[in-house]
Structure 1
Amino acid sequence: MTHEDIWRALDALAAEHGLSASGLARKAGLDATAFNPSKRIGADGRARWPSTESVAKVLAATGAGFADFAALVTGAAALPRGGRPGIGRRIPLIGLAQAGGDGYFDDGGYPVGGGWDEISVPEVGDPNAYALEISGESMEPVFRDGDVVIVSPGAPVRRGDRVVVRTQRGEVMAKELKRQSARRIDLRSLNPAHPDYSFELPEIAWMHRIVWATQ
């Protein structure tokens, strides 16, 4: 999730309600200039992020849920026409430890087969989205045992995103994309007690973006 992703999501949410960035800020009870493009970069050239309080006020004012906002962060339309929050739907669910087994994904990394459970989640823009239940402590403190992450195969992946990666050897891991070049990817472990990884691109079967977590 990058600085540009968050601001794009706020702009998209404003547009879906027929508002400008200033109009969205006013609707949320914020200063009208809070979301202006000039406020997104500081005087020192560093990126400025909207506060979590500002985002919470925007969601409350528009009636959007966090899942709706997360979908917009991926570039998908989160709300149907009329500006109402999307209804829930059921998506496939398995444990992260199971995901490395055969028969759960096709060659493109899309869920297949009858071994999946299902979970009800707020509307997610990607029709191929699936859920993984975390087990163990390898992803603490970001994700803990029992948390469920929602994964979008169709979402664009950028440096700094949290991703689920499957290697050609069948290993499945949740990491942060540290860097990607034309030849390799570097992954940062979410738990600092665990090592980082680096792979040549041919070693990777697929890489999908985590767009939401139930915690």
Structure 2
Amino acid sequence: MRHDDIWRAVDALAAEHGLSPSGLARKAGLDPTAFNPSKRVGADGRARWPSTESIAKILSATGTEMDSFASLVTGAPTLNSATGRPLSGRRIPLIGMAQAGSDGYFGDGGYPVGAGWDEISSPELADPNAYALEISGESMEPVFRDGDIIIVSPNSPVRRGDRVVVRTVKGEVMAKELVRQSARRIELASLNPAHPHYSFDLSEILWMHRILWASQ
């Protein structure tokens, strides 16, 4: 378990309830800056954990069980505490990973368009442009396997260490981990250790969207 996994779960919990991290902190009676990026790194530059008290308070404020929060830490959808099943929210587009590189599925802004796709129920999301991708092949094992569904948010901020879906101007679509982004270049790590890392000029990237959950 990494610091990023916990913080990502906090952000995901906030998004499920239509809140920003600051809004979630406020709802839980915490300092609104408690989950700010600056609070996630110590003065020495080392990553910090959120306090046990702050986690307990946001779970209480949102009515979330610990096992549901643990699901967010591992990347799975939040579980409904009453049924033990993923929360049902609105329906979002489900696009095959291979289809995502084809024309007609995404508009110029990187949002899903058209109607030639299936739909799935998702956890309640703050991003109206969220969509799902079905993984195909073995290139992303062991993190994502053939047939897994990932839920992707075009409007969520992307930070170093986040898992992302990237589409290049050549039409390549890939799920990677963001290693570094500068004003000119982007570095991506493959989720499968058998595959190489990638480095692109930003001009080669059409869009990059953050992966919020994986249904495995």
Mark yes or no: TM-score above 0.5.
yes
CA change 1:44–1:130 in 2 (3 A) is same
Which stretches in structure 1 are left out of the alignment for 5+ residues? Answer: 22-34, 71-85
1:38-187, aligned counterparts within 5 Å? 46-50=46-50, 59=59, 62-64=62-64, 88-187=89-188
Larger radius of gyration: 1
Matched, 1:16 2:27: yes
- Count of residues in correspondence between the two structures: 184
CA RMSD between the two structures? 3.6
CA change 1:56–1:193 in 2 (3 A) is farther
Which stretches in structure 2 are left out of the alignment for 5+ residues? Answer: 15-20, 73-86
Task: Report the counterpart of residue 204 of structure 1 in structure 2.
Answer: 205
Task: Report the counterpart of residue 74 of structure 1 in structure 2.
Answer: none
Deviations 1:3-59 (A, max 9, x none): 765666576434224x227xxxxxxxxxxxxx9xxx96679763232499x958954
Q: With structure 2 as the length reference, what TM-score do the two structures score?
A: 0.70
CA contact (8 A) 1:2 1:160 kept: no
CA contact (8 A) 1:94 1:131 kept: yes
Moved more, 40-49 or 192-201: 40-49
CA change 1:45–1:101 in 2 (3 A) is closer
CA contact (8 A) 2:91 2:120 kept: yes
Q: Which amino acid aligns with 2:196?
A: P
Shift of 1:164: 0.5
CA change 1:168–1:149 in 2 (3 A) is same
What is the DSSP-based 3-state SS (H/G/I as helix, E as strand, rest coil) of the residue aligned with 1:99? helix
Q: With structure 1 as the length reference, what TM-score do the two structures score?
A: 0.71
Task: Report the counterpart of residue 78 of structure 2 in structure 1.
Answer: none
Task: Report the counterpart of residue 194 of structure 2 in structure 1.
Answer: 193
Q: Which amino acid aligns with 1:20?
A: L
The alignment-based identity, stated in percent, is: 72
CA change 1:41–1:171 in 2 (3 A) is closer
| Whole-angstrom CA distance in 1 between matches of 2:61 and 2:178 | 33
| Whole-angstrom CA distance in 2 between matches of 1:42 and 1:109 | 35
CA change 1:51–1:172 in 2 (3 A) is farther
